[in-house]
Amino acid sequence: MSVSRCGLSAAYRMRNDDLVLLPWIGPRRRLFSSSVLPKLPARLTAPQKAGGDRCLFAGLAGDLRLHVQGVRLDAEHLLPAAALSRAVAGSLELAAKQSAERVVVCLDAATPKLVKAAFEGAVLGSYRFDRYLRKRKKRIPVLLVVGKTVDAAGRAALRDRKVLLTCVNFARDMQNEPPNVLKPSVLAERFRKAGEASGLRVEVWDERRLARERCGGILGVGMGCRARPRMVIARYRPRTVAGHLCLVGKGVTFDSGGYGLKPATSQVGMKYDMSGAAVVFAAACAIAKLKLPIQITVITPIAENSVSGEAMPTTSILKTRSGRTVEVEHTDAEGRLMLADALALAGEQKADWIVDAATLTGAAVVALGEDMAAVFGTDRALTRSLVDAGMDEDEMFWELPLHMPYRDLLKATIADTRNVATSKWGGAITAAVFLRQWVEDGTPWIHCDIAGPGVKEEPLGHLGKGGKGFGVKALVEFARKLSAGEKV
Ligand code: BES
Ligand code: ZN
Ligand code: ZN
């Protein structure tokens, strides 16, 4: 991973080859004071168009070479904060093209909320996954010129934010790693390392332990691959707690479909099928590092869904941890088989709330597109609280119904249930209904199908190509609300 440095400064001292970003809201409201740019020759006015940016000046200011870019944050469909994060990420790209040495964002007349958004644009917008490139591009530092708008408390808040955003970038690193490198044991060890460094107690179950623990769902999915499955269980137990949250994430390091093989073009993107695991694990690391007063257990079943002579044949019957058996009508519906074991284990933890995240169904992407996740829940207020946390964090979740009558579509004759519905319609819902069979009655549960934003390759907002770490920020904000006892 490479991320540029992002610093704060009270005043701006111009340097050669700076790219200076000047933000406006509307044509008149400047987020910077004119005194930050003493040497500029021309009077600078906002770009004409709402949302538009333009080069206001490129050339010598005194004896310094400068690029000055103006941007108007009153873009349609976007709040100014979101527009500013995107603008900073855009400036980083422009700076690379124009060989600028540094991006300077002048914000000394902005609100703390906008400074926070610019900071996020810098930390997440400068993320590059370049470890496999022979020639890596130079990292471009960002300087936020904030005058007196950020006091000591504001600086501490930004330090905490940096901790969170670094965890988002950790999730992105895991997502972007190719599947020939990121085998189940490798992902498990990376989780162990990151978890222990964050203050989590980490346990890794190997194949033998999984067998002893009766995790037939995970073992069934993983048996087609020489790289054997794992389950990572990590715990954070602070001294004072407001409750116990159990996070569960699907960790399929590559989903070929198994014997129900996906066509080649659909296999592209399936290295991201471990996004749920990466996102919940990164969120747990952030919660521990930020020392939130909430107990966390994170459970991530990890396997590669592969094809080989050992892979499970279609119509296999697997016995999951709860004792419930599943007839595998489609080997490509593998995530739910692994989550069955993991949700059963989650129930045994006696947590107050269970939340899972999984790139579970193409149907969720058909329903909502690539930019947002589908959520299902057994408790409306709790689900609402996660949706709101997402709104606050510029991550969109939309609730779909957990329509239990669809349970009839999952009836099997020689096993307790089948893994795909008999109807091809409503696939995201029938998957959620399938999972519910392993959720303890009485424990509020939320299921997030992040197949869209979890697998999206193209840029999203201020996040560039590749993994987005979608959901880390929302889950941490959700946990913060729970830990603060805010009404859910
Ligand atoms: N990992 C996929 C779901 C997926 C598909 C995520 C496309 C992101 C983009 C999952 O394991 C899967 O293959 N699901 C099947 C289920 C079907 C066989 C009932 C699907 O959605 O096609
Ligand atoms: Zn699949
Ligand atoms: Zn999958």
| Ligand positioned closest to the Cα atom of 454 | 1
User: How many angstroms separate the CA atoms of 382 and 47, rounded?
Assistant: 43
Q: pLDDT tens across 398-418, in order?
A: 999 999 999 999 999 999 999
Q: What is the tens place of the pLDDT at every residue in 209-225? A: 999 999 999 999 999 99
Farthest CA pair distance, the chain: 82
**Residue 336 annotated among the catalytic residues of the structure:** yes
Ligand 1 atom closest to residue 273's alpha carbon, by position in its atom list: 1
What pLDDT does residue 41 have?
62
**301-314 tens-digit pLDDT:** 999 999 999 999 99
- Summarize the confidence of residues 167-183 as an average pLDDT: 98
Lowest-pLDDT choice from 73-77, 112-116, 257-261, 449-453: 73-77
Token readout for 8 is 């704060």
First to last CA, the chain: 37
Q: Which residues line ligand 1 (CB under 6 A)?
A: 255, 273, 330, 332-335, 359-363, 365, 420, 427, 451, 455
Q: How far is the CA of 360 from the centre of ligand 1 (A)?
A: 6
Whether 451 shows a pLDDT value over 70: the answer reads: yes
Residue nearest to atom 7 of ligand 1 (CA): 362
Residue 468 appears among annotated catalytic residues: no
Kindly tell me if the per-residue pLDDT of 488 is higher than 90.
no
Local confidence band at 420 (pLDDT 50, 70, 90 cut-offs):
very high
**pLDDT band for position 442 (cuts 50, 70, 90):** very high
Cβ neighbour number for residue 487 with a 10 Å cutoff = 6
Q: What is the pLDDT of residues 315-342, one digit of tens each?
A: 999 999 999 999 999 999 999 999 999 9
- Helices within 180-274 (DSSP H only): 184-198, 207-212, 216-222, 264-267
**CA separation for the pair 90, 118 (Å, rounded):** 11
**Residues with Cβ < 8 Å from 198, sequence gap 6 or more?**
167, 284, 285, 286, 288, 289
Supply the pLDDT for residue 108: 94
Q: What's the half-sphere exposure (Cβ side, CA atoms, 13 Å) at 342? A: 37
